[in-house]
Amino acid sequence: MLQKPVFLFLIGILLISCSQKEPVPFADIPESYPVLWQVFEHPETYKTQILYTQIDRDSLGNPVFRDFNVGLDDQVYFYPASTVKLPVAILALEWLAEQNLPGLTANTIMLTDSVRPSQLPALVDSSAENNLPSIAQYIKKILLVSDNDAYNRLYELLGQDYINTKLKEKGLNNTMINHRLSMPISEAENRHFNPIRFVDSVGNILMEIPARETSEIYANTDHPNIGKAYYSNGELVNTPMDFTFKNKFALSDLHGVVQRIIFPENFSPEQRFQISEKDREFVLKYMSMLPLESDYPKYELPEFYDSYSKFFKFGTDKNPIPERFRIFNKTGNAYGHLLDGTYFVDYETGTEFFVSAVIYTNADETLNDDVYEYDSIGFPFFAELGEYLYQLELKRKKERKPDLSEFRFTYK
């Protein structure tokens, strides 16, 4: 069992909604989870937040949620890294449905131009079967391997105003998306968006979107800082790194986005993503697809192993993930932060649960030095936390076994 001070710390921040007859998650962690122990014993060092949702089924088979958390605080800033790609990908499909334009689909050719030095064009996509970019191809790459350029193209399509307004409307109140990824350009340049053309197979223009900009400044008004120093253009700067103009995506919002796409009926209509069932199934398929199961885009070993972007339970295990498991998720990894928001399924036992977590692994408190404890702490933490919750779920008594057939897809 955990030592008394740690136990009291956990009990103090758990949202407990289970009966006294059921085990309290995280209150009795076996010593066989050494990294989990270490992280829980040093919450200030690792700045860990965990949100875990048990799922039971009512008499009609509908999901009923019960939440538990460790360290959850939506007002505490962490860098969300690539997790922001998930809501942007889904919003691209919502935007597409709103256009209601004949011939304009997720597979329509999408050509991105450039009108400013900071912008890059995208007129080809060698990963696509037809070598041409599209919304669908960008979403596939985002969900399969967390492609940065694919996210940037959808960010440029939608713009900051659309993204942030839509997310607020859906009740995701602790989220703000305001920049491209892996492009070192200014806050002002990130408020400019490329011109875009959608064309048919013979080059006829179906829709033309001019270059745009927003006058609204999306910033973290509490001016969060991380670390004690950071590298910029190869030079060490001995001050904390300013994240005022960086993306924000609170853990409860990440968790909520995953839940909205898995079980939209558990949310009011205005909180759901307004996409068709066909588009929802498309998102679910590629959220859960493994890189090696994809043909276009094509990903190969040794770089793209099964758990390449599936942190919970499997960590960095290079072995194939057994077919009984499917993980519908989105991960992130930057500035010492590791994140994963997941709906975890075991078809054989009928196990299903949601879990989202973030951990900060940066002992020297220096950003951009590529010295992070991802391999020694971060990935093992996710592997142990996923295994611990999976074993907890196997032991948990449920009145009804869920029908998980809607989450089975043909991947080849």
CA distance 283 to 86: 9
Determine whether 279 is exposed, middle or buried from the number of CB atoms within 10 Å of its CB (0-12, 13-18, 19+).
Answer: buried
Question: What's the pLDDT tens digit per position in 108-120?
Answer: 999 999 999 999 9
Intra-chain end-to-end CA distance of the chain, in Å? 45
| Among the listed residues 72, 198, 34, the one whose alpha carbon sits nearest the alpha carbon of residue 132 | 198
Cis peptide before 297 (omega within 30 of 0): yes
Average per-residue pLDDT for the chain? 94
Of the two residues 16 and 284, the one the predictor is more confident about is 284
Question: What's the pLDDT tens digit per position in 6-61?
Answer: 443 454 444 444 444 567 899 889 999 999 999 999 999 999 999 999 999 999 99
pLDDT higher than 60, residue 345: yes
Strands 366-367 and 229-232: parallel
Local structure of 340: helix, strand or coil:
strand
Provide the pLDDT for residue 21: 58
Read off φ and ψ for residue 134, nearest 5 degrees.
Answer: -160, 165
Kindly indicate the confidence band of residue 380, based on its pLDDT and cuts at 50, 70 and 90. Answer: very high
Model pTM score: 0.94
Residue position matching structure tokens 């400019």: 192
Give the Å distances, CA to CA, from 164 to 95, 296, 339.
13, 31, 21
CA distance 73 to 311: 22
- For residue 325 the two structure tokens come to 């498991």
Residue 214, C-beta contacts closer than 8 angstroms, at least 6 positions apart: 159, 160, 161, 191, 193
CA angle 395–339–63, rounded 5-degree value: 45
Residue 148 belongs to what H/E stretch? helix 148-169
- What's the whole-number mean pLDDT along residues 151-162? 98
pLDDT higher than 60, residue 360: yes
- Give the helix, strand, coil percentages of the chain, each rounded to 5: 35, 20, 45
- Cα-trace Rg, the chain: 21
CB-facing half-sphere around the CA of 377: CA atoms within 13 A = 21
Question: What's the pLDDT tens digit per position in 179-221?
Answer: 999 999 999 999 999 999 999 999 999 999 999 999 999 999 9
CA distance 356 to 52: 7
User: Where do the domains of the chain lie?
Assistant: 4-407
Provide the pLDDT for residue 12: 40
Provide the pLDDT for residue 407: 97
Provide the pLDDT for residue 27: 86
Answer CATH for 4-407 from 3.40.710.10, 3.60.15.10, 3.40.50.300, 3.40.50.2300? 3.40.710.10
Provide the pLDDT for residue 205: 98
Q: Where are the beta strands (DSSP E) in 96-185?
A: 109-112, 175-176
Provide the pLDDT for residue 24: 80
pLDDT higher than 60, residue 93: yes
Q: Which residues of 68-88 are buried (b: 16+ CB within 10 A; e: fewer)?
A: bbbbbeeeebbbbbbbbbbbb
53 and 357 in contact (C-beta within 8 Å)?
Answer: no
- What's the whole-number mean pLDDT along residues 346-365? 98
C-alpha torsion angle, residues 359, 364, 365, 366 (rounded to 10): -120
C-alpha torsion angle, residues 380, 330, 24, 398 (rounded to 10): -120
State whether the Cα torsion 182-79-380-322 is positive or negative: negative
381 and 39 in contact (C-beta within 8 Å)?
Answer: yes
| Among the listed residues 409, 86, 152, 129, the one whose alpha carbon sits nearest the alpha carbon of residue 297 | 129
- For residue 131 the two structure tokens come to 């070598």
Provide the pLDDT for residue 412: 75
- What's the whole-number mean pLDDT along residues 135-150? 98
Q: What DSSP string runs through 266-298?
A: GS-GGGS----HHHHHHHHHHHH--GGG-TTTT
